Structure 1
C-alpha cells in the first residue's frame, strides 16, 4: 500500500447511449465512459436516536458542492426497522433534496435508492420532476425494489410482489414523463386525459437500478439507465476483479452495447495516516484506510468499469469536516467531476 502508483486517467470518451442524457446536467457531471467520479453519501454522521447529529449537515453539503464533488446521495428508508439498526437519512429523501437544491449549485442530487415498489409512480414522478426543476436539472435517481420486509405490510402491500410492482412502476414513471397527455394502462392504475406537471428540465430523469431489484440480467440491460451495485470486498484486489466481471456481464446485455454508467459505494473510516493499509471492519461493512489506499481502490474500481464511487463517512471516527476536506484536496483532483451542461438558473 505504501508504494501506491497514481495513474493519470486517459481522455474521456462518451459512448453511443450517452446522448440520451446529453442535456442533463446531473448525469453529465457524474458520468463519462472510462472515468470515475466521486460522491458522498448522507447522512454524514450515524443516527442513533439523536437528531442533533444532523445539525450543520447542509452547511457541509454546501462545502462538498464548493469543493467540486460530482454528487451527494440521500438514502430512502421510509420506516426504521430496529433489526436493521440503520435509520438511514431519517429525512424524507425528496423533501431533503429539495432543501439541498437551494443550498447547492453544481453538484448532482442522487437518491440511493428510491423504493419504487412501495410508492405510487405518480407521486414518485411528481416529486422527482419537481426536484429536477428546482435544482436546474441535477436529479439522478438510484431506484430499488426494497429490502426491509416490515415496510410492505405497513403500506398494505405484499413483500413477495415487489418484483412485479417495481417493473410496473418504472414503466408507469417513464410514461408519465413523456408527452403531454399519455394514456397509461397499468396494473398500478389507468390514466387518460390528464398529465403530469412539471416535466423534467431535459425531458428525462436517469434511473439507476440498484442490485437486481429482483429483475433478470436481460431486463437490467434493456431497461436500466445505469446500474448501482454494492461493493464486493474492498481491502484486496480480488473484490474489484469480481466487480469487473459483474459489470461486464451486465453491459453484455445492453442491446446496442452503448455506454451506460455503473455506480458502487463503500462506507469508509478514513485514517489520518495516509499510509494506513486497507483494513476491513465490522465484518467488511466498513473499510478503514488512509488516502493512499483509498486512491488505490478507486483506481481499481475505474479499471473494473465503475463510473462513480459514492463514499459514506457516517461510521468514521474523525470529524466529517476533516474527512471532506482531505478528500476534496488530496483525492478528488485525481477523479474530477465532469464539465457538461450547466444547471438551469435556480430562480424560484
Structure 2
C-alpha cells in the first residue's frame, strides 16, 4: 500500500488536473479564513532554463515555500530543489532531489529521491542536501516534518513485505525508528506536538489511525465507512477520505482532540493539505467546511492545482498553461 495507490480512488489525481481546464473563478472576500484582501494568484520566480517547476510545500507561517524543477540539456536532465523565502528564490542542484514533501517553519525541507532500485529520502538544511538514514530493510519515503524537525514516512516490513510507519526523531540525529502502529501502516502527517496521523491495512481495506505524543495509538473512525485513509494533518486537524457508499469518496476532516469528524465539500475530488485552522485544499479548490470555492487562475487551456496551505491562508501549487507548468501562490483566499 502506498499514497499513490490510495489516490487512484479519487478519479484523476494530479495527472488529470494537469490536463484539465476549469472555468475562471470570481475573486471573493475570505473573511471566514481570517483574510481581508480579495483572493488572488501570483507567479513565483523560477529558473529561466527550467522546463517545468512547481511549488509543493509551504511552512505554517508562510515564510518558506519549497518546490521542484527540472532542467533539461543536451547532457541530460538535472532535478532542481527550489526554495523561496519571502519571495526570494534559491536554486539547489542535487542528484537525489526528485520530489519535495514538506518544509517546516525553520526552513528545513524534506523530500524523496530514487537510486539503486530503492527510495532515498533526503533533507535540506544549512544550505546542503543530505540523505536521511535508511531502515535496515532498505528504502523509505518521507511525508511530513514538524517545527522541531521530527520527520515521518514509510518503509517496508521485512517479515510481511508490507509497510511500516517510520520516524526520524530530531532529538536523536542519525536514527530512524519504526513506529508501533497497525499492520501495513503509512505515516502521512506529524503535528508540532508530535501527534502522527496515518493509514493502515491491506489494499482496499484501509483504516486511519493516530499516534499520540505519549505513544498511544488510536483509530480515527468514520462510522459506516467501508474504507478510510488520511492525507495530511496540522494542529488539531487531519483530513482524508472515506468510502461511504457514494459515487465518490467523501472528504473527511477529523478533530484530533476528540476523534470526531465532519464532511468537507464534495466539490474537491481529492485533498492535498490542511492548515491549523482546519482549512483544506485539493485540486483547484479551498474548503473550510461543507462549501468550497474555486481558486482563480484557470482559463483557456490553462489549469491550476494546489499542493499545500499555510496557517495564514497562503496556498501554493502550480499553473499549467498550454503545457508549461510553473509555480504559483494564492493569497486572501
- Fold agreement, TM-score > 0.5: no
**Structure holding more strand per residue:** 2
Task: Tell me which of the two structures has the higher relative contact order, counting C-alpha pairs closer than 8 angstroms and 6 or more residues apart.
Answer: 1
TM-score by length of 2: 0.31
